[in-house]
């Protein structure tokens, strides 16, 4: 009757130039890595987080599931592109039964797309007293319906079922160690083309933004291809000059500072105390040290496999674990669904 059936979840990360997926079993308190895999994508298949060539992505998904042998065809999908908006807003505090109707009615003031063209969701993250009385602090998430439909259709074409869709920056809360959730920190995820920033105040998300500062932009500083900036295997590791890492780190610092300054100005939030790096870019030697020097903050690299049982047959993921941070976060999220 299924009472003893393992609770498995697959997190799927469709990045520029590559697809990555991780399957976990167990629970959020005691997860186990079952399988993982990655599959390169042809150029032009995904551009700035959008699926530009559905056929290419569908073929790659078929191949990935065949090669990796995932036991589940249900996935938790992460999205991060200009078709997804995350906004923090305040709404008048009303009786519980009226909250949903009020937020959905007034959300148009904060979303620059017609509401009938997006899938809207929200989380109430707190309460405060404003100039006009008590207010609800709300995180609004809106995804363009046509963009999301393309992802769902491509997954379906590869015989996969999208069980849930999560906004990539928000999903990264899942891999932040509990000891590091106190205070105010920012998670910087450096992916192939786009990076993202999530600010958390005592576990509560307060700010999320996509920045155009992924590894593809770094290729100009290192005069190489995307797969050479941070190779997909440590066996072909390249040690870059300190000058090149410094130049790229300075550019990334400017993007981070711009976003964090905006957060401070708009939200009057607490000062950032620490930075956490994740994603493939977090494996670049010397980058964390450069950002620490530039930002004057503690900078740590997230270890997404901490608190996860990794069997010996899957130990190969350990040296490139940061590449799979998003997939791990999504799979952990899937164990909750």
Task: Tell me the per-residue pLDDT of 48-81, one tens digit each, with 9 for 90 and over.
Answer: 999 999 999 999 999 999 999 999 999 999 999 9
What angle separates helix 145-157 from helix 54-68, to the nearest 10 degrees?
A: 50
> Could you give the domains of the chain?
84-143 (3.30.1490.300), 177-301 (3.30.420.40)
Reported for 112-115, long-range contacts at CB under 8 A and 24+ positions apart, including other chains, are 112/85, 113/85, 113/142, 113/144, 115/142
Residue 26, burial from CB neighbour count under 10 angstroms (0-12, 13-18, 19+): middle
- Measured from the Cβ of residue 307, the count of other Cβ atoms closer than 10 Å reads 14
pTM beyond 0.75: the answer is yes
Which residue numbers in the chain have pLDDT < 50?
A: 1-5
CA distance 154 to 180: 37
User: According to DSSP H, which parts of the chain are helical?
Assistant: 54-68, 96-106, 145-157, 168-171, 215-222, 226-229, 242-267, 287-295, 325-334
The token duo for 189 is 């995820």
Q: What is the pLDDT of residue 5?
A: 44
Q: What is the pLDDT of residue 128?
A: 85
Residue 198 in contact with residue 187, Cβ under 8 Å? Answer: yes
Q: Is the dihedral of CA 252, 255, 257, 260 positive or negative?
A: negative
CA distance 193 to 215: 6
Q: What is the pLDDT of residue 1?
A: 32
Residue 175 in contact with residue 278, Cβ under 8 Å? Answer: yes
- Measured from the Cβ of residue 215, the count of other Cβ atoms closer than 10 Å reads 26
CA distance 324 to 19: 10
CA distance 260 to 282: 19
Strands 204-211 and 31-40: unpaired
């Amino acid at each position: 009757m299924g009472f003893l059936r393992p609770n498995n979840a697959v997190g799927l990360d469709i990045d520029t130039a590559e697809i990555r997926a991780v399957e976990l079993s167990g629970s959020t308190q005691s997860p186990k890595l079952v399988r993982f895999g990655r599959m390169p994508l042809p150029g032009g298949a995904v551009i700035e987080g959008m699926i530009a060539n559905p056929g290419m992505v569908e073929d790659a998904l078929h191949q990935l599931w065949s090669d990796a042998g995932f036991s589940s065809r249900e996935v938790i999908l992460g999205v991060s592109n200009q078709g997804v908006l995350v906004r923090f807003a305040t709404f008048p505090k009303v009786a519980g039964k009226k909250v949903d109707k009020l937020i959905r009615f007034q959300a148009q003031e904060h979303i620059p797309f017609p509401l009938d063209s997006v899938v809207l969701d929200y989380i109430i993250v707190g309460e405060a007293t404003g100039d006009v009385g008590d207010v609800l602090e709300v995180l609004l998430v809106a995804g363009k319906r046509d963009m999301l439909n393309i992802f769902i259709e491509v997954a379906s074409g590869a015989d996969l079922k999208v069980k849930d869709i999560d906004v990539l920056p928000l999903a990264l809360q899942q891999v932040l160690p509990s000891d590091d959730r106190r205070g105010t920190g920012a998670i910087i995820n450096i992916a192939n083309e786009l990076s993202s920033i999530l600010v958390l105040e005592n576990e509560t998300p307060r700010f999320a933004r996509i920045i155009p500062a992924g590894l593809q932009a770094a290729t100009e500083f290192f005069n190489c291809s995307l797969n050479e900036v941070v190779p997909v295997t440590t066996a072909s590791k390249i040690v870059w000059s300190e000058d090149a890492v410094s130049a790229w780190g300075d550019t990334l610092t400017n993007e981070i500072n711009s976003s964090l300054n905006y957060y401070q100005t708009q939200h009057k939030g607490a000062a950032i105390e620490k930075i956490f790096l994740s994603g493939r870019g977090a494996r670049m030697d010397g980058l964390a040290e450069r950002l620490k020097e530039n930002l004057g903050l503690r900078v740590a690299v997230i270890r997404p496999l901490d608190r996860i049982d990794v069997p010996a047959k899957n130990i190969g993921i350990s040296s490139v674990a940061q590449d799979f941070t998003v997939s791990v976060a999504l799979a952990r999220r899937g164990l909750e669904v």
